[in-house]
A = this chain, B = another copy of it.
Amino acid sequence: AETIPVSEDTRATAAMLRDKALESETAYTILESLTTEVGPRLGGSEKEAEAARWAVAKLKALGFDKVYMEPVTVAKWERLSESASVVAPYTQPLHITALGKSAATPEGGVTAEIVHIPTYEALLEADAADIEGKIVFISNRMERFKTGAGYGPAVQARGKGASEAARKGAKAIIIRSIGTDSHRLPHTGGVNYDADAPRIAAAALSNPDADLLERMLERGKPISIHLDVQTKEHGDVTMHNVIGEITGREKPDEVVLMGSHLDSWDLGTGAIDDGAGVAITVAAADMIQNLTKERPRRTLRVVLFASEELGLIGAKQYADAHKDDVANHAIGAESDFGAGPVWALASNVSTDSLHVVDTMAQLMQPLGVVRHGRKAGGGPDVGQMVKLGMPGMDLMQDGTDYFDLHHTADDTLDKVDPAALKQNLAAWVVFAYIAAEWPGDFR
């Protein structure tokens, strides 16, 4: 195949956009609006619907060429109440959160001895006789890495621990928060129940509370706790993916997919997860429509996915609805890792189009971005289309502090560094503009 160069004009416009992005307040203004006027927006809730209305109004106000919604069916889950305390031989309250989609305890809660299991792997090997009738406590501590690589290993206890514990007769499960901070704010996140296991309540302790339980256990006496988690399942409701487009001047049917998710967990205000991603992707498309002389060749499609936290619900239904249109998805990327600066650029594009990614990386180099490898998942939501064959790009962010806040009440606007948000925006306008303007194919 022939190599199609990135024109000098395209490079110059991308550089101009990058420099303007570093002075742009647009992303911060969008994020401030979402976290102040909407706040928590749990997938499936009336607050998520409110967020979708907010998003439609915002995209229209910004002058996007097309603004529309696509329906998403979500099983609605509601947190009602949660509390826990050590009741013997010491008495102390514990700071917990029900995991997302957790079943309830029996009314009035459950009181039982805890059995200390260090890791999810140890739970797999544990003897059911040691677990039967008890509350499983998994104490494993997530490790801190720039890439967030500590999350994958640690999160298994959250996603799969409940069913494994239930199969061995546990009455409930409590885990150390999947998080790297030391604050009394537990981290929620989804639990997934296997069909073949009893559905037991699942909760996370804040890290200081997990430390406390460990210190109590070191004293060698049986420790009993009372756990009361009340939740409710409401059945299916209809939410929406919200979509805004800047229509391409030459190839309007070909899209550059820019993803983030609009829902958040209910504890915080969804500033880093994923208000930042919403703000960055919307502001990037907005800058391109406002600051370039003409629309780029391809369409910029910003998709704010619904109910990501409940299991990529909006993204899976988008991929299903658009599975016959994958060929028109030129390339895609997602912003869903807070507002830490972009430090590397990875892609899974064809060898013939690798030079375009190199050009993007060169233009991002003043932002501190380095060229990364040829693997790119495209992020949790956009990745659903990458699995179907769409080329993907990863604008890799520094996640060193991300898991201090992730899925906690502390996910609030003050945690976002405005300068880092601008750096993200600068990297995104380079990617989005070149991806939409370069006439070649990434496949």
Measured CB to CB, the residues of A under 8 A from B are 32, 35-40, 47, 90-93, 95, 182-185, 207-208, 211-212, 215-216, 219, 268-269, 408-410, 412-415
> In the complex, what distance in Å separates the CA atom of A93 from the CA atom of B265?
13
> In the complex, what distance in Å separates the CA atom of A212 from the CA atom of B39?
10
B183 touches A410 (CB 8 A): yes
Given contacts A183-B183, A207-B414, 12 further A-B contacts (CB under 8 A): A36-B90, A39-B91, A39-B92, A39-B93, A39-B212, A47-B91, A92-B269, A95-B409, A183-B410, A184-B185, A184-B408, A208-B412
The answer, among B38, B40, B90, for a CB contact under 8 Å with A39, is B90
Please, could you name 24 A-B residue pairs with CB atoms under 8 Å apart, sorted by A?
A32-B215, A36-B215, A36-B219, A37-B90, A38-B90, A39-B93, A39-B212, A40-B93, A182-B414, A182-B415, A183-B183, A184-B268, A184-B408, A184-B412, A185-B185, A207-B414, A208-B410, A208-B412, A208-B414, A211-B412, A211-B413, A212-B269, A212-B412, A212-B413
Nearest B residue to A47 via CB reads B91
User: How distant is A33 from chain B, measured CB to nearest CB, in Å?
Assistant: 10
- Which B residues lie within 8 Å of A93 (CB)? 39-40
- Which B residues lie within 8 Å of A90 (CB)? 36-39
Nearest B residue to A50 via CB reads B91
Nearest B residue to A412 via CB reads B208
Nearest B residue to A89 via CB reads B37
> In the complex, what distance in Å separates the CA atom of A61 from the CA atom of B128?
41
> In the complex, what distance in Å separates the CA atom of A215 from the CA atom of B182?
28
User: How distant is A102 from chain B, measured CB to nearest CB, in Å?
Assistant: 19
- Which B residues lie within 8 Å of A184 (CB)? 185, 268, 408-410, 412
B409 touches A211 (CB 8 A): no
- Which B residues lie within 8 Å of A415 (CB)? 182
> In the complex, what distance in Å separates the CA atom of A216 from the CA atom of B269?
14
A211 touches B92 (CB 8 A): no
User: How distant is A267 from chain B, measured CB to nearest CB, in Å?
Assistant: 8
- Which B residues lie within 8 Å of A269 (CB)? 92, 212
A212 touches B40 (CB 8 A): no
> In the complex, what distance in Å separates the CA atom of A378 from the CA atom of B36?
45
Nearest B residue to A93 via CB reads B40
User: How distant is A383 from chain B, measured CB to nearest CB, in Å?
Assistant: 31
Nearest B residue to A37 via CB reads B90
In the A-B complex, the 5 residue pairs with the closest CB atoms: A39-B92, A184-B409, A208-B412, A36-B215, A184-B410
User: How distant is A408 from chain B, measured CB to nearest CB, in Å?
Assistant: 8
- Which B residues lie within 8 Å of A219 (CB)? 36
Interface-centre pick from A216, A409, A413 (highest chain B CB count, 10 A): A409
Using A183-B183, A184-B185 as known contacts, say yes or no to A36 and B212 having CB atoms under 8 A apart.
Answer: yes
Using A184-B410, A185-B184, A409-B184 as known contacts, say yes or no to A92 and B40 having CB atoms under 8 A apart.
Answer: yes
> In the complex, what distance in Å separates the CA atom of A410 from the CA atom of B209?
10
User: How distant is A172 from chain B, measured CB to nearest CB, in Å?
Assistant: 22
